[in-house]
Structure 1
Amino acid sequence: MTVNDYISQKFQTFGISLSEADLLEISLSSGISGEDEMDQPNIGLVSVAMAKFIPSLLLRATSISENGFSMSWNIEGLKEYYSFLCKKYGLEDTLSDKPKVRFL
C-alpha cells in the first residue's frame, strides 16, 4: 500500500474523499513521497502530517447535495481522530473545547 493509498483510506472512513492536491500537500509536509510504500518508519511522519491537515478540512462544506446525490462527513469522528493524533504525537490540539489549566 502506498502512502497516498493509506491517507485516502484513513480519511475515507470519515466519508472524506481527498483530491490529488490534498494528497500532495499531506505527503510533502510529511517529507515522504505519496508513491512510497507505507511502512512502520513512515507511520509517525504521515500521521503528524495528516493531523496538521485536518483543521483545513473543517473549513470545507460538511455536506453536499446535487442532482439527487448527497454526501456528508463525520465531523465529530474526524475531530476525535484529530484529538487522538495530537495526543499520541504530542501536538497542540487547537480544535478541542476542553479547558486547559495553566500555572503562572
Structure 2
Amino acid sequence: MATIREFIQAKLSRYNIDLTEAELDAAITDQGLVSSDQYTSSASKSSLKVIASVIPELLLAPDITEGGYSIKFDRAAVTAYYKLLCAQLGIDDRLNPQPKIKSKSSIW
C-alpha cells in the first residue's frame, strides 16, 4: 500500500514534475494530511487537492536547458489535468478565474 506522499509523487511524475521533499510535505500538511500515512479512499479528495494546490505555481517555472540537457513538462497537459481536478473537486480554477455575479439587480 502506498503512502500519501508516494501517491502524490506518482501522479505528478506522469507529467515529469518533481517537488522537493519540503515542498511536498508542506502542501500535504496544508491539507491536514500526514505524508507518511497510508493512502486510503478517505484521503483521496484531500490528496488530489494537494496536487491542485501546487500546479498553478509549477506552471510559472521556466523550462531549463543547459548544454544539451533540458527539463521541461507539457504545460498543456498539466493545465488540462488541473482543470479536470478543479471540476472534479469543485474548487475554483485559479488559472482561469470566472467572474462572479453578486446581484442581478446591479446589472440593470
TM-score range relative to shorter protein = 0.7 to 0.9
Which ranges of structure 1 fall in alignment gaps of 5 or more residues? Answer: none
Partner of 1:88, secondary structure, is: helix
Partner of 1:70, secondary structure, is: strand
Query: What's the counterpart of residue 23 of structure 2?
Result: 22
Offset at 1:69?
1.8
Normalised to the residue count of structure 2, the TM-score between the two structures is: 0.83
Cα root mean square deviation, aligned: 1.8
Matches within 5 A, 1:1-104: 1-61=2-62, 63-96=63-96, 102=101, 104=104
Which ranges of structure 2 fall in alignment gaps of 5 or more residues? Answer: none
Aligned residue pairs: how many? Answer: 102
> Once the two structures are aligned, what percentage of the paired residues are identical?
26
Normalised to the residue count of structure 1, the TM-score between the two structures is: 0.85
Partner of 2:79, secondary structure, is: helix
Structure whose alpha-carbon radius of gyration is higher: 2
Runs (4 or more) in structure 1 with deviation over 3 Å come to: 99-103
Counterpart contact for 1:83–1:96, Cα < 8 Å: no
